[in-house]
Copies of this chain bind each other. A is one copy, B any other.
Amino acid sequence: MSQTSDAQPAAAVTEIQAGAFDRPRCRRDGTSACEGCGVRAFSVCGSLATDELDALNTMSEKAHFAAKETLFLQGDRADFVFNITSGTLRLYKLLPDGRRQIVGFLLPGDFVGLSLSERYGFSADAIDAVSACRFDRSDFVAFVDRKPHLLRRLHEAATHELTVAQDHMVLLGRRSAEEKVSSFLLTMRERLHRLGASAVTIPLPMTRQDLADHLGLTLETVSRIVSKLAREKVLLVVPDGLRIMNPSRLEQIGAS
């Protein structure tokens, strides 16, 4: 690999590709229906019939958020559930004194509001420009209550999130700084891979501070670890991301 090709910016995971289930829609109230984008992204919807997907499509609208825009704050009334179609979200909790823990980053295809509950349990910001398929929560809940197989999928998604959360507890409670960073990059690679992205270069639209607040570190420590791994030729720092140069070494450090 030449230096020039190595240094090209990380390709963002821009958008869920249009899929077979997409169907343009017109709605009587004049708002633009989501045109299937969100429902297509909906990993949760695999088992739905076409007419059910249509119903979901008609229920939803496309919503856009600029970088750094806040979608909602912890404790807000949960008026909407979202399905991300492009961009990256950070979900976080704050302590009274301002310390922040980012409980997760959301990528296209991810669902926000799995709990279906009255209030959001965390805050959410757009990191870069974000598009999402937005549903009115009470409509969505009513729909889910009529479709047990969709509920079953949501339940699977929720328990998957729980497993991810427990894995992150291991990382936060029992791993060194170098292991945290390596393990995080491997996790991101895996997620991007599932989204069909190349997964050699990891786009990182979030700041070092965001990474630190996700991994239970400081931004300086994250920066130092990344520099160290770059010095050891495990990573290459490229604009807006990191290229994994020595995957097996990274797996050795970050193995779970």
Contacts and interface: CB of A to CB of B under 8 A. Distances in A.
A55 interface: no
Nearest to A162: B162
A256 B161 CA distance: 22
Contact of A173 (B115, B154, B167, B172): B172
Contacts of A96: 255
Interface string A151-165: 110111011111101
Interface in A115-160: 115-117, 121-122, 145, 148, 151-152, 154-156, 158-160
Contact of A155 (B154, B170, B172, B255): B154
The SS class assigned to the A binding surface is: helix
B93 A167 contact: yes
A158 to B, nearest CB: 5
Copies of the chain in the assembly: 2
B169 A168 contact: yes
Taking residues whose C-beta sits less than 8 angstroms from the other chain, chain A's interface range is 35 or more
A145 B148 CA distance: 8
Interface string A235-246: 000000000000
B169 A115 contact: no
A185 B159 CA distance: 26
Interface stretch (A43-51, A59-67, A82-90, A98-106): A98-106
A96 B99 CA distance: 31
A213 B173 CA distance: 8
A101 B171 CA distance: 9
A121 B152 contact: no
A152 B151 contact: yes
B93 A216 contact: no
A95 B256 contact: yes
Nearest to A147: B148
A236 to B, nearest CB: 27
Contacts of A165: 162, 165-166, 169
A101 B169 contact: yes
Given A159-B114, A162-B114, A169 B170 contact: no
> What 7 pairs between A and B have smallest CB-CB spacing?
A173-B216, A115-B159, A165-B165, A172-B172, A101-B170, A148-B148, A103-B166
Given A121-B166, A148-B148, A161-B162, 12 more contacts: A99-B174, A101-B170, A145-B152, A151-B152, A155-B155, A155-B158, A162-B162, A162-B165, A168-B169, A173-B214, A173-B215, A174-B216
